[in-house]
Structure 1
Amino acid sequence: MKLTISHKGNFKRDESIDSLYTSREILLEGNASCCWKLDSGDVYYLFGEVFGIRDSNTNELSRRSINISQEYLQDPRKVSDLEGRFVVVKITEDDKCSIWTDQFGRIDVYWQEHEGQTIASTEMKCLPVANSAPEANMVGIAHALVVYGSRPAKMDTLYKDVMRLGVGEVLNISRDNITIDEENFQPLQIEEYTESDLHKYSDIFIETIRARGSHEGNVVYLSSGWDSTSILAVLVHCFGNKKVRAVIGRMRYSERAGVINQFEIDRAQAIADYYNVPLEICELDYRNGAPEILDEVRTLFRSQQFANLTGFNHWKLAKHVARTASCDEVVFAGEISDGAHNLGFSQYVSIFHPSSIDFREYSDKMASHLFGPTFLKDILEDKHEANPVWQIYRNRNVSVRFDMPLQGKKGRIEQFLASFFLSQGRLPFYSIENSRMLSAQGQRDYSESMKGKYLKDAANSVSPDNLYSWYLHLYHSFHWQGATVATLEHTLEAHKLTCALPFIDSKILEYLAKMPESWGRGLDFKPTKYPLKWMLKNRIKYPIELQTGPHSYIYDIDPSFSHIGEIMHNSSFTKVFKNIIKEKSYINNFSEEWFCHEYIAGIENKYLSGDEMRGDELNDLASLSMLSTIGMYGD
């Protein structure tokens, strides 16, 4: 979608995009799913897809005609009743425009004012910034480099003059004014759940898959974990195994490491065999071919600010599915389940134990406890230092800097949220001072800017009773719009395929927002992802006995192994990255006031000399290399 509002009336048409609406001051271009006009003269355009409307009584997700959906699409306050990924553009008779998205903002809307025009688009390559030397936005760059996800947060971009629409916002554009309306978020309270709620979760999840699936064919990006295999199980339950196939990536990042996810492939194959579903192997082989894949993805990734290895894998998977598709299939992936169920702590990696997966799972629960309502209450009552779990994690991180708790409830809650969303460490009170890529001023300015823009309302509202609801709401502005998640939708869309992320579903997220800590998120003995695993044991045919042994990767038996280490030091990307580092042209985007050039030069020199760094230095170097290789407009 590209919308141009010109004060001068002179438009430069994009010949590659269909023209949808033209007036003296407005040009709307794009591939609209549909449009309609009201008696008032207002015209509406829908870009994207509406999966259906939820029945509030039965939780059924009904696919309705667009005529029935129009009532909901016309009012940004009602889009929460719809499941989908879409943008709505409204144009009035007097040439005023409004733009809003689905309730989670799954399609981005960027806009820029330039030479008497306001241009809004779902792709930055359609904005003037793509053909200029724009001024960099230090906040956006800092977040993309420092926080896992490798992308600016939702309302930011890498460029000072390019804005991005936030979750729940409406962009209003007229000839002489731009305003943004925002609906206040109303958090849900945590409830006490009973056994009937386990059945409720199962009903919602099964319906979520059924409504998004296709009777023609369905594809699952399969790992060996609970999320993708649960999707596979429900797809077979709903559509039969003849309408389902699975795809898994075989990761070969370097010659010396070989296949790094053989555990995952073996278990995935066993589960696929259990359902008699074909499992196809997509080679994620980076021993060769880095320049070629970079050429393939650079236009899309630069336009959407993606700079992460996971995005390259998603591109290869999408390319494989497109090449092997025989019908109009829907492609399913299990992303965001970790965050939604257990705040991201469900990978068996919080504390490594060589012989006990159960201990490693409980360590994940301990980590999620530290961001749960019980520990928040301890913090607010000055009792947190006596918490045994906190003591264990503090003692395991003696080299980490932690901030002193501020005085006052609001200050402490803001610290608590900042350590969750704005830090590398994901431990309460983890200090921004640990981010050595930023200068002291950069650390302060980044923290103040991000807290003011994203966390201020939450800091005034969060309590132990609504904490999970706020987490799941804020996730849409942070990790869930980042380059490890959003690339799924964009890479599949680029190959003209439909992506379904069933855990990004309003009823699933509502259920998990209210789910108590004692349901697998705290120090209880219920497993992580408790309602999901209960469903697989009690409601769906599923081979529970296969979920044993090493989880997925070499680091499940050797915690010193690093995926990104192999990419940086021993893959076909190594030469590409070292050439970029040698040129140093990217450093012009990093203000010395914000970034510690001395630290950056230090890790660059280590890399060029052949030093195989680990830990934060490796992660910083990887972020720097990925962003610089994808590049920014004006480079």
Structure 2
Amino acid sequence: MRVYFELSRGTSGRDDLNDLVTFDDGRTLRIAGDRTEVVVGPSRRLFLFGDVFYSRRDDGSIRTTSADDSEHLAQLFARHSPEEVAELLEGQYVAVVVDDAAREAQVVLDRYARLDLFVRSSGDTLRFSNDVGEVLAGESPERDQRMLAHLFLVYGWYTPKGTTIYSDVTRLRVGESVAISSGGGVSRRQAEFVPLRIEEYGSDDLERYYQVLRDSVLARAARSGTTWVSASSGWDSSLLVGILANELGPSSVGMLTGSMHYSPQTDVINRFEIDKVGRIAEFFGIKPEIVRFDYTTAAAGDIMRGLAPFCRSRQLYTLSSLNMTRLAEGLTSVAGPGCTIMNGEASDSFHNFGFSQFGTFFHTSKAFTEYADKMNCYLFGPSFLGKVLDGSFEGDRVFRIFREMSPGVPFRTDWPDRAGMLEAFLFPLFYGGPRLPFAETWHTPVLTDAGRAAVYTYPFREYMPEVLAGITPETIYSWYIRMYLSFHTQGSTVAVLRAAMERSGQSSRMPYNDARLIEVLSKAPESWGRGLDLNHTKYPLKWVAENRIPFPYETLQEGPHAYLYDTIEGFSLAAETTYRSGLSHLFREVMDEAAYRDVLDPDYFDLAYLDGLRDGYLAGSEVKGADLGALFALVQFCIIGWY
């Protein structure tokens, strides 16, 4: 899907651009791309890029809709301001509203800015696009060293929503809109965020959770034919399959997954996942489609080279783009273009803030590792924050256990004020590792002291200072989800799922990233599997699986999760890819080129350290831990490249 419009003078000279309205300063708003046009009133028009799923009524119920429902869209935009519509109309879209009589225009995104809209000004021309290269229009950008440093420190290899690795290219943030006045003046406005308070939930709220999730899934399902699910062996995607099969029948549901083979020395790394997907599919009476990913030869590197320009244009700095594009191509070969496919992304983020993947520490007991996840989640919950605020947290036994299990990890023990304390508490939730309160996770060897300081002060001092001023034990989960919507769910590893499918002409949907579901989970209590209670992680989701639909509950509960590292302590997918896969040929090529030295500023980056990683890699030595993470991030960055 292409999104493009610009504000420029004179004639465009381009056949693909349509003039919409000319302002007093002589500039004209021009538009191109894959859009739906709706007449809103005698002088107002709507140009919609993307998908819409439902609108919210005053009583809290929903009306399912689509981008083709012109009459309903016209009514919504006639009765409400564009900013109000963004709150009422659920979807993943960019909307441009033009008032021909007033000669004004407004640009809004869906409530959570699920599509990227890059913005750049050059002279008298202001360009908007979902493609970084298109807003640059052949010009050289100014690189933002602080955002490049951010890319290397945060998991998911991204910059926060609203930013890019270029100082003169921005993105619209969550809740941000653009207004163009009749005089041609451009203003960007930010909607106020009002955090929701945690509530004491009962059995009725579990039922409400189920109804809201069910509505989200059905509103995003294909209007006819097959709705596909990017299936893993986990709870999130499996529950989507279960709800769809229960509501639409198994003949209307498809399951698609990939078989990942990286090196001749190792078996398919997700064979547990493939086996379990087969059993889940058998339970529902669905034949799964398995796409084979063979990365054992140098051909894998050629494929990734070919993908790099696309990833660069979308600011996707992750090699998982290779898997996702291969999966999308597999869907096209099986079912053709124009399919609707769902995935379970954002479920981990919004239910348990990433602490629900059996990854807190290694153990062969799955139940024990699940409770370890809950212990880790507790340390970022309202009960522990209460101890942080009253000064008693260091005596907390859970905190002491994790500190003792983290030898060599420095922890902050002093701060100048309450804001400094909260900053030290929150920073490890999103940056570096281990994800433990007060861990000094910014001490990456990739960055200089100045680079570390620039990243550390950015998220809560400059980007979202309202977090430090507003977070309380009563609103903590609402703030976390707000942060996730601007951080991890905008990251490369999440955004690539939609981008890869769009590249192959498919439509990707994320039912867990739903406005009504987010409201339920923002107010959900710690006892919903987020603390030291005995409820499972993702408690309401698993309650639905056990109590509301036919579901292979025991199949999901038993056995290894998905990958070889679930049973082999120390197995590293990054090491497998870097040293033993067919991609290693490409890795060596980009490391030999060392182009990063022309881009990364030595004031921010320790180039001697990076050079050492490069030289050791080319000499055939293997590194582990933080060094391997740094090497992998550097290689990804060099492969995908920059403008």
- The TM-score with structure 1 as length reference comes to 0.95
Corresponding residue of 1:30: 33
Corresponding residue of 1:498: 507
Shift of 1:432: 4.5
- Contact 2:230 2:341 (8 Å CA) reproduced: yes
Distance 1:344 1:505 in 2: 17
- Contact 1:233 1:541 (8 Å CA) reproduced: yes
Partner amino acid, structure 2, of 1:38: G
Q: Deviations over 1:286-316 (max 9, x none)?
A: 1122233224422321111101122221111
Corresponding residue of 1:631: 641
Corresponding residue of 2:65: 63
Structure 1: state its 5+ residue gaps.
none
Going from structure 1 to structure 2, the CA distance change for 1:324 and 1:199 (only over 3 Å counts) comes to same
Distance 1:61 1:608 in 2: 58
**TM alignment of 1:89-238, pairs within 5 A:** 89-93=96-100, 95-128=103-136, 131-173=138-180, 177-214=185-222, 215-238=224-247
Shift of 1:421: 2.3
Partner SS for 1:246: strand
Going from structure 1 to structure 2, the CA distance change for 1:18 and 1:131 (only over 3 Å counts) comes to closer
Partner SS for 1:193: coil
Deviates more, 1:447-456 or 1:525-534: 447-456
Shift of 1:120: 1.5
Partner amino acid, structure 1, of 2:33: G
Partner amino acid, structure 2, of 1:501: M
Partner amino acid, structure 2, of 1:84: G
- Contact 2:40 2:75 (8 Å CA) reproduced: no
**TM alignment of 1:178-327, pairs within 5 A:** 178-214=186-222, 215-288=224-297, 289-325=299-335
- Contact 1:301 1:307 (8 Å CA) reproduced: yes
Distance 1:404 1:98 in 2: 48
- Contact 2:434 2:441 (8 Å CA) reproduced: no
Partner amino acid, structure 2, of 1:172: A
Partner amino acid, structure 2, of 1:67: E
In the alignment, is residue 567 of structure 1 matched against residue 581 of structure 2?
no
Corresponding residue of 1:553: 563
Given candidates 473, 478, 495, the residue that maps to 1:464 is 473
| Matched-pair identity in % | 32
- Contact 1:204 1:507 (8 Å CA) reproduced: yes
Q: Deviations over 1:183-233 (max 9, x none)?
A: 110110000010111111111111211121123111111111101110111
Partner SS for 2:177: strand
Partner amino acid, structure 1, of 2:190: E
Q: Deviations over 1:548-596 (max 9, x none)?
A: 0111111111120011111111112211111111111222111111111
Distance 2:402 2:235 in 1: 26
Distance 2:560 2:428 in 1: 30
Partner SS for 1:464: coil
Shift of 1:359: 0.5
Given candidates 471, 478, 482, the residue that maps to 2:487 is 478
- Contact 1:59 1:204 (8 Å CA) reproduced: no
Corresponding residue of 1:44: 46
Distance 1:31 1:326 in 2: 19
- Contact 1:37 1:43 (8 Å CA) reproduced: yes
Corresponding residue of 1:83: 90
Corresponding residue of 1:3: 5
Partner SS for 1:104: coil
**TM alignment of 1:420-439, pairs within 5 A:** 420-439=429-448
- Contact 1:123 1:304 (8 Å CA) reproduced: yes
Distance 2:608 2:139 in 1: 29
In the alignment, is residue 590 of structure 1 matched against residue 592 of structure 2?
no
Distance 1:468 1:71 in 2: 35
Corresponding residue of 1:377: 386
- Contact 2:431 2:442 (8 Å CA) reproduced: no
- Contact 1:414 1:455 (8 Å CA) reproduced: no
- Contact 2:38 2:70 (8 Å CA) reproduced: no
Greater than 6 Å deviation, 4+ residue runs: none
Q: Deviations over 1:216-268 (max 9, x none)?
A: 11111111110111011111011101111111110101111120111111111
Corresponding residue of 2:339: 329
Distance 1:625 1:446 in 2: 21
- Contact 2:151 2:157 (8 Å CA) reproduced: yes
**TM alignment of 1:337-356, pairs within 5 A:** 337-354=347-364, 356=365
Partner SS for 1:307: coil
Corresponding residue of 2:20: 21
Distance 1:630 1:451 in 2: 29
Distance 2:596 2:300 in 1: 19
- Contact 1:44 1:88 (8 Å CA) reproduced: yes
Shift of 1:101: 0.3
Q: Deviations over 1:1-36 (max 9, x none)?
A: 222212x424252x5x45363645222222212232
Partner amino acid, structure 1, of 2:468: A
Distance 1:413 1:445 in 2: 18
Q: Deviations over 1:71-115 (max 9, x none)?
A: 545421331222100001133446544321000101111111113
Q: Deviations over 1:369-404 (max 9, x none)?
A: 111111111111111110111111111112112223
Corresponding residue of 2:451: 442
Distance 1:458 1:298 in 2: 35
Distance 2:215 2:40 in 1: 33
- Contact 1:217 1:328 (8 Å CA) reproduced: no
- Contact 2:501 2:507 (8 Å CA) reproduced: yes
Partner amino acid, structure 1, of 2:98: I
Corresponding residue of 1:507: 516
RMSD: 1.9
Partner amino acid, structure 2, of 1:291: G
- Contact 2:295 2:583 (8 Å CA) reproduced: yes
- Contact 1:109 1:121 (8 Å CA) reproduced: yes
Corresponding residue of 2:375: 366
Structure 2: state its 5+ residue gaps.
none
Distance 2:461 2:12 in 1: 37
Distance 2:309 2:34 in 1: 19
Partner amino acid, structure 2, of 1:208: S
Corresponding residue of 1:412: 421
In the alignment, is residue 536 of structure 1 matched against residue 545 of structure 2?
yes
- Contact 2:308 2:640 (8 Å CA) reproduced: yes
Partner amino acid, structure 2, of 1:180: R
Distance 1:624 1:364 in 2: 29
Partner amino acid, structure 1, of 2:419: K
Distance 2:200 2:251 in 1: 40
- Contact 1:302 1:632 (8 Å CA) reproduced: yes
- The TM-score with structure 2 as length reference comes to 0.94
